[in-house]
Structures are given as structure tokens and as C-alpha cells.
Structure 1
């Protein structure tokens, strides 16, 4: 192995480890936002139909910043883009806590938008794992980094109940105590990227491609725009289905918990416990098997694993629509929803990367994240309206249309 190739392999191994640890911290930080956003929006606004605006604001913030952060990464490297995202999220968390204390709904949405902007930086971690990866291991490396979110993503929602207890001790507004853990995790992730993500993987990949064609990454100059567009569609559609149903699940579970505690005390604790467990299992489904799906995408093919994800998503939606009033059915549906999302997005991201030459790759990755998050923002708003008018079961059924579309267009991914 030549010296540049050896350098690339060594840096790639270290980069994956750093990104994985950063995803653990990011999962803790964003776990509270996912779980509490809809509840805070419904509580402060007084209208359950507006609860979807919280998730919509997260995705809107990510959509607005995905392309600018991707361009920044292409010019200055992944480290700068990731740390800027951490700063956005910290400012957003402070604004959300202030809005909850003042009970100002528009200010709440501003803070959540900034948290979403931070999530745009966090999303780039999975692409950063592919900058120096060999084609045969691209899905695996991407899956390992996505998997690392499992630790923080499962732990984050489970911190809701202790976070509320801690928040009461220090005088935090209701439903915001868990953000204390988010602040600590975001600060640690920022320091990690600044100190440890050196050399920058994207800048090194660009330098190797310029300096020595012999060590250029396999497939770095391949351009398959049709396959790339299908990959964007598969990732975006799967994310819309997942985000729309997941965003409304805390509100739906709140109804079930209150119904189960009618005439009894402890309803708030029951809600946070039920929501925390359900979202934790959902996040486990999202990230827990991502290395397996990455390995399958490398061995079995990207498009086949996308289709596997669509089959799992369809199963989840059918369970949720058939038994919307059963807590265990909703929990099972959310777990499967996460599994289907994982299979589709890991394989879709790998397909997008290998279908795009190195130079325009950050731009296309930013476009994919923008499409994914912007469409999910619209989906979350509509999901709140559907939940208010027709209920959780009908909401789950609407996602089947996007699953069918992704499946029917799958031949485009093989072009």
C-alpha cells in the first residue's frame, strides 16, 4: 500500500471513531427536542392542531441550512460545518427555554428552527464518514456512524422524566428540564469536533484526488445523475413518512395516557414515561441496526435494501392504522418505523454518494438533506391537521402513498 493510501486508511478509521462519538452526544442533545417539541407546542399554543409546527420548525431549520453548510464544508471542511451546527443548536436551546418560560409560541418556533439548523450539521456526519471510505466499505462506515446515534438517541428520550425532576429543582419551565442534558451534550460535541476531527476528511479527500490520481477513491469520478436523483427521492420520502408519524405520536400517546389515568393523579408523569419509552424504542429502530443495513447495502445492493426499508415501513403503517388505540401496537409500529427508515436512508445515502463525483458531492448531499428536511417540515404540519381531523390511524395510512411511489420508481436507482 502506498504512503498516501495508507494515510487515507488511517485517517478514515480515526474519522469514523470521532464521528461516532459525536453522534452519541448529538443523539442525547436532539432526543429531548424530538420528544418534547410537539408537547411544548401544544401546551404553549393551547391548540393540538399546532403541535406539528414544532417538528416542522426543526426540519425547516435543517432545510434552510443544509445547502449553506454543505457549501461551507466543501470550502472549509467538515469540521467547520459541524461545529457551526453545534453553535446553532446551543443558541436554539436557550431560546426554547426562554419561550417556555414566557409562554410565547412564535419565539418557541424560532428556537426550534435554530435547533433544526444544528441538526443540519449533525446530518452531515454520515456523509463525512464516506469522504475517505472505499466503495466496498462505504455502506458499512456510514452505518457505523449512524448506529452510534443509538446510544444518545435512546438515552435522550429516557432522560425526560429525570430531566423534569432536575428541572423542577433548578426552576426550569415545565417540559424543559431535559434540555439541561442537551446543553451539556452539544457543548461536548462541539469541543470534540474542534479538537479531534483532524485532518479534515473532506479536505484530505480533495487533496488526495488533486495530488495523486493513483490513490483517488474508487468511483470518485463516476456520475450517475438518474440514480442520484432516485436516491434523494428514496431518502426524502422515507424521512417524510417517518417524521410525520413520529412527530404526532407523543400527542397521540398523551391522549392514551390521559384516558388511562382518568380520575387518577400522575397523568403528567405517565405521559413523559410512555413517550420517553416509545421514542427511545423508535430511535433504537432508527439506528440500532444501521451497520447491518450498511453491510447489506454493500453486499446485497443499495436499491434492494431501499426496497427492504419500504416493506418494513409499510408494515409499520398498517399496524398503526389497524390498532391506533392500543399502546403496545403503537410502540411496535414506531419501532418498525425506525427500522424501515434506517434501511432506506443508509442505503440511499450510500447510493447518492457513489453516484456522484467527488467535486459536486457535498452540493448534492446538501440538496438531498434540504429536500429531505423541507418535505418533512410540510409533512409534519399536515400531520398535525390530519391527526386533529381524522385521527392517528388515518395519519398512518397516508404514508403508504409515498412508500408505493418509492417502490415503483426503484428501477431508476439501477441506471
Structure 2
């Protein structure tokens, strides 16, 4: 089954406005994600009888995210980015409001159902960065993608304040106010989505099963997916477990929120310049720098359990994620022909967020059964494997791979 789509969104007129709106949407999306990271494991721990299932609701957001990426991609290929992002925002509003009801009713199952809706919302929002690459002038993909991802800096600036102020805002229901704030962020995403005017991607979008054989035979596409998986899975494994680990170490909620703030700053503040650094130094060196920063984060995390160990480790983790994930997204864009873009992006995000879902779930299991040092060290092998793959690709294609078909 195919869906014929119109011209590329690379028209210069309006592209800056579109990229700015996408960056703003990314900011609201990241506020939602940051608040979920801060409270979901704690809310799950509060409601679940089996405390090892504390991270299950958060894991379900990624499972639903994964299941939604393919239909979201196909829907946006037919109806356009604006319609897709607006639908995703509506799902986020519904999911956050249902989570607030779950807290009021002390229902773990209802919280899980709410997180499925939020995850479906995220399944649309993950395409914000791809939309930026499509809207950018040719050669400016890395800078546009990085600028949109930098919209998450908004979350780092206001997220901890929102988390702290909303946690006990509605007594006697901890976290209910936080989920209402998440619903508000989703509403702002909806408003930004309705203001978008993006054309549909160029070419003909096919089902996921068709048209990708050639793409998967390109080593750079496979390595781009591996890099995206490593960046997001390692980051999510450690980030999701951090609130539980800090509570287990006797650290308070305010310290946890501040550590997550520094982590989010590390993720999104560098994105303001990562695109320019990629253009100056090359894609491969920046992605390898991301691997090095993540390895340093693992080393610091494994060496102690003070607030400063958590803060430095999570900040380095965010910096590494920024370099590696922006690079991976750019490499995906450079690895696909226009007709492969829709299914290729869907396949990439399906694999990335499918494994992220597993990391979110197993982080709760690991933190219950092992100590923090063991959990952090378990993230080192995929980082090392990715670094080796990127070094090989650098040797084969140089520091600046060219777009396929150019």
C-alpha cells in the first residue's frame, strides 16, 4: 500500500518559522518527558504492591511509543506533519489527565493505562526532529535538527521548578498536580502544532515492509540506527533508575529534581552548537566524542553515590547523548533516499524506542536486584561497540558522509 505525497518541505520561505515552532514543540514535549522521568518511578512505587514494578508505567510509555511510530509515520505521510503532531498532543492531554485520575483513585493499573496514552503521544512527537531535517535547506540538516532538539533546554530551565511546585500542590494526592502540569504542556504542544505549515515529505511512502531492503544493506544506515539505540537506551537506563537509586541512598526529592535538571541541561544546551560543531569538525568525530562522554559518565556513576557523583554522571550522560543522538539522527537523514524517508524514519524509531522500552522496564528490575555501580557498568559494552562501529565507518567514508543520491 502506498501514499503519494507532494513536494519537499525544503522551501526556504517559512522554513525558519517552521523550525522555530518545531523547536518550541520539542520544548513542551521535553517538559512532559522530564516531569515523567522525575515522578513516574516514584508514583509507580507508591501505587504498586510489587515494588519491582515501579518503572513499569514509564516503560509502557516507551512500549506504546514504539508501537505508534510506524502508524504515526504513515499517517503523517498521508495527512501531513501538522495533523500528526496535533493528534499526538491530544493523546498526551488525555493520558496526563487519566494519570491524574489514577493518582486520585490510587490505581496502579489506571496509571499504566494512562502511560500508554502518553506513550502514543510520544510516538508522534519523536518525529519533530525528522520534520526539522526535512524543512531545512540541503546541507543544513544537522544544524536544524540540533536547533529543534535544543528546544528541550526549556525543560531544563523550568522543569525542576514545575516538578517541585506541583508534587504536593493538590493535597493529599502526591504527584497529581504534576500530571496536570504535563497535560498543560501537551495543550501548548497542540497550539504550536496547529500553527505549523509543513508540506509533506518528497517521494512515495510505502509500508514499512517495502522499500527498505536497500537501506538496510547500507552500513551507514545500520550504524546510524545502532548509534541512536545506544544513545537513547543507555541514557534512559541510567536516567530512569536515578530517582529510585537516589531515594535508596537517602537523598531527597529536591536533590533528585536538581540532578535531573543538570542531566536535561547536558542533553539540550549543547544542541545549540552541536550542529555547528558537526559542520566544522565532521559527523564521525562528534559522534565518537559522544561515546567518550557516555563512557566517562558511566565511570563517574560507578565510582560513588553522593549527590555530586549523580550530578556529574548524569550531566556527562546528557552531553554524550546530545552529541551521539544528534549525529545519529543526521546520519539517518543522510542514509535514506527521499522515497525511503518515511518508512526509514519509522524503522529507526521503532527499533530505537523498542529497546528504550526494555531499558526503562529493566532499570527497575536491576536497581532492585543490584547496586547502582553494577547497573551503570552494564551500560558500557553497547557504548564500546558503537564506538568501534563508528570508527570503522569513519575509516570507510571519512568524517563527512554525503547524502545518498547526491
Q: Do they superpose with TM above 0.5?
A: yes
Cα distance, 1:380–1:28 mapped onto 2, change above 3 Å: closer
Residue in structure 2 matched with residue 191 of structure 1 by the alignment: 191
1:148 matched to 2:146: no
What's the CA shift for 1:187?
Answer: 0.9
Residue in structure 1 matched with residue 373 of structure 2 by the alignment: 393
Residue in structure 1 matched with residue 293 of structure 2 by the alignment: 312
1:333 matched to 2:313: yes
Residue in structure 2 matched with residue 266 of structure 1 by the alignment: none
Structure 2, unmatched stretches of 5+, are 1-6, 205-213, 398-406
Cα distance, 1:337–1:7 mapped onto 2, change above 3 Å: closer
What's the CA shift for 1:165?
Answer: 4.1
1:54 matched to 2:57: yes
CA contact (8 A) 2:227 2:325 kept: yes
Tell me how far apart the structure 2 counterparts of residues 245 and 79 of structure 1 sit (CA, whole Å): 33
Cα distance, 1:18–1:117 mapped onto 2, change above 3 Å: same
Residue in structure 2 matched with residue 373 of structure 1 by the alignment: 353
Cα distance, 1:405–1:163 mapped onto 2, change above 3 Å: same
Match of 1:295 among 271, 276, 283: 276
The more displaced of 288-297 and 311-320 is 288-297
CA contact (8 A) 1:154 1:279 kept: no
Aligned residues: 379
Tell me how far apart the structure 1 counterparts of residues 9 and 57 of structure 2 sit (CA, whole Å): 46
Cα distance, 1:167–1:131 mapped onto 2, change above 3 Å: same
CA contact (8 A) 2:150 2:269 kept: yes
What's the CA shift for 1:356?
Answer: 0.3
CA contact (8 A) 2:19 2:135 kept: no
Residue in structure 2 matched with residue 94 of structure 1 by the alignment: 97
Tell me how far apart the structure 2 counterparts of residues 110 and 6 of structure 1 sit (CA, whole Å): 36
- What value does the CA root-mean-square deviation take over the aligned residues? 2.1
What's the CA shift for 1:7?
Answer: 8.2
Cα distance, 1:5–1:225 mapped onto 2, change above 3 Å: closer
TM-score (norm 1): 0.86
Match of 1:243 among 230, 236, 239: 236
TM-score (norm 2): 0.88
The more displaced of 26-35 and 399-408 is 26-35
The more displaced of 154-163 and 248-257 is 154-163
Residue in structure 2 matched with residue 218 of structure 1 by the alignment: none
What's the CA shift for 1:382?
Answer: 1.9
CA contact (8 A) 1:284 1:335 kept: yes
Residue in structure 1 matched with residue 210 of structure 2 by the alignment: none
More helix by share: 1
CA contact (8 A) 1:30 1:156 kept: no
The more displaced of 342-351 and 27-36 is 27-36
Residue in structure 2 matched with residue 130 of structure 1 by the alignment: 133
Cα distance, 1:311–1:391 mapped onto 2, change above 3 Å: same
Q: What do residues 65-90 of structure 1 show as CA deviations (whole Å, max 9, x unaligned)? A: 11111111111111111111111111
Structure 1, unmatched stretches of 5+, are 211-221, 259-269
